Amino acid sequence: MTRLVLASSSPRRRDLLARIGVEPARIVSPDIDEAPRMRELPRAYALRLAEEKARAVPRAADEAVLAGDTTIALGRRILPPALTEDIQRELLRALSGRRHHALSAVCAIAPDGTARTRLADTIVAFKPLSAAEINAYVACGEGLGKAGGYAIQGRAEAFVRFLHGSHSGVVGLPLFETRALLAASGIAFA
């Protein structure tokens, strides 16, 4: 029986896996450099990070590793995580009234070492945000540290006027793509 190692420090990814009946045997936080490379495009960046995270975690012969990365892109620009409230305000102003892409990449490495990746590209459109709405959202604290400066599973969902794609992918793990990769890697579902 193949055991799953989740290569993630995100509690949301573990919660999302539980929705499809998967409980990781181990959770290990990968340590990689997440800086974008010169002229790296958002899709390539998200896929590279997911695979690097998966490869950074040691696994036993009976284990599969799963890793993911969610990148927020505005055009060809990779938006950083909101490490400070000032950065978060800047990100929310940039997203206000515009469409952006939430690119959620997943990589699974099977016990035989085969790596498979998938990408969910979700288009998210925010309503125009007032300065007061941005300040109130920043004050609540939920988007701090998050890609693009928001958490769609919280208060920011009220900013979304349109979403086309995977809601779970925007949260942090596209479940349709993840289930297919895990099945191909020998993971059984409850």
Residue 145 region, left (φ>0) first, then alpha (ψ -120 to 50), else beta? Answer: left
Lookup: tokens for 12: 């949301």
- Which residues have a catalytic role annotated? 69
